[in-house]
Structure 1
């Protein structure tokens, strides 16, 4: 069916459940997994409360570290399930675009993701990032609710 499945995560509870389901799906279908977490960066002007460049650097590094922590969860779960896995993190102000780009870059033929994540009001129906991946993606998207 699918040879390589992109599994993005934002570390939310639903996203973690989607990761587990994606790994099980990959195991059942003999697929490999590519784990991805996006450190959602913002332009400097978004951080008017941050008065020093060092503070912004600390915030950026914190976001990157959380992204690394999230993909290590995917890596550990895939290893336990004997599913081939590679993981990546990227910085991007637009997570949906980073997900679509990663699917193309890593030759994934499917994206398996949660229906919503950390997006506040976007959690009501279908998450904003998930919706944008559906609209702009070039491969099938499996949505975990």
Structure 2
């Protein structure tokens, strides 16, 4: 069976439901959990014509992004602990979450990625895609999609 599960979370209710299911699965099978959050890159301050910028703006934005990541992981961590399991936490920063998810699973030795499906269908799924679909298409590690 699987021994080390990567569980990406974005803080949504659906995602936290996925964390709960992954935690129950981990407790049943004795697997370890690594919670993962793909933090967006901080936007660069625009200092063009007519724009106002503070020298501390980038720091403030980065601080808020870091705080949001920790809040999201705190909520997921609480769900895992409530289920009686334990976990470690990982944050990677970038603009392509699916690549970060796969990289985190690879670098932490995970043998399963446990993801939620956001349930897009039809034209929306074709045009927008989803991070889950992209992980499914590119991962060499098995992906379990919980819906």
Normalised TM-score (structure 2): 0.81
Task: Describe the shift of the 1:83–1:46 C-alpha distance in structure 2 as closer, same or farther (beyond 3 A).
Answer: farther
Conserved? CA contact 1:100–1:137, under 8 Å: yes
Give the corresponding residue for 1:54: 56
For structure 1, the 5+ residue unaligned runs are none
Q: Alignment length, in residue pairs?
A: 142
Secondary structure of the residue aligned to 2:35 is strand
CA distance in 2, matches of 1:11, 1:36: 11
Choose the corresponding residue for 1:70, options 61, 69, 72.
Answer: 72
Q: Is the 8 A contact 1:116 1:123 kept in 2?
A: no
TM superposition outliers: structure 1 runs of 4+ over 4 Å:
45-50, 121-127
1:80 Cα offset (Å): 3.1
Compared CA separation, residues 27 and 50, structure 1 to 2 (3 A): farther
> After superposition, what is the alpha-carbon deviation per residue over 1:41-90, rounded to whole angstroms, capped at 9, x for unaligned?
15538998884453233223212211111112232232333323111112
Q: CA separation in 2, counterparts of 1:109 and 1:32?
A: 10
Matched, 1:8 2:15: no
Q: Report the structure number with the largest CA radius of gyration.
A: 2
Once the two structures are TM-superposed, the CA of residue 31 in structure 1 deviates from its matched residue by: 0.7
Deviates more, 1:27-36 or 1:55-64: 55-64
Map of 1:1-145 to 2, 5 A cutoff? 1-41=1-41, 44=44, 51-116=53-118, 128-145=130-147
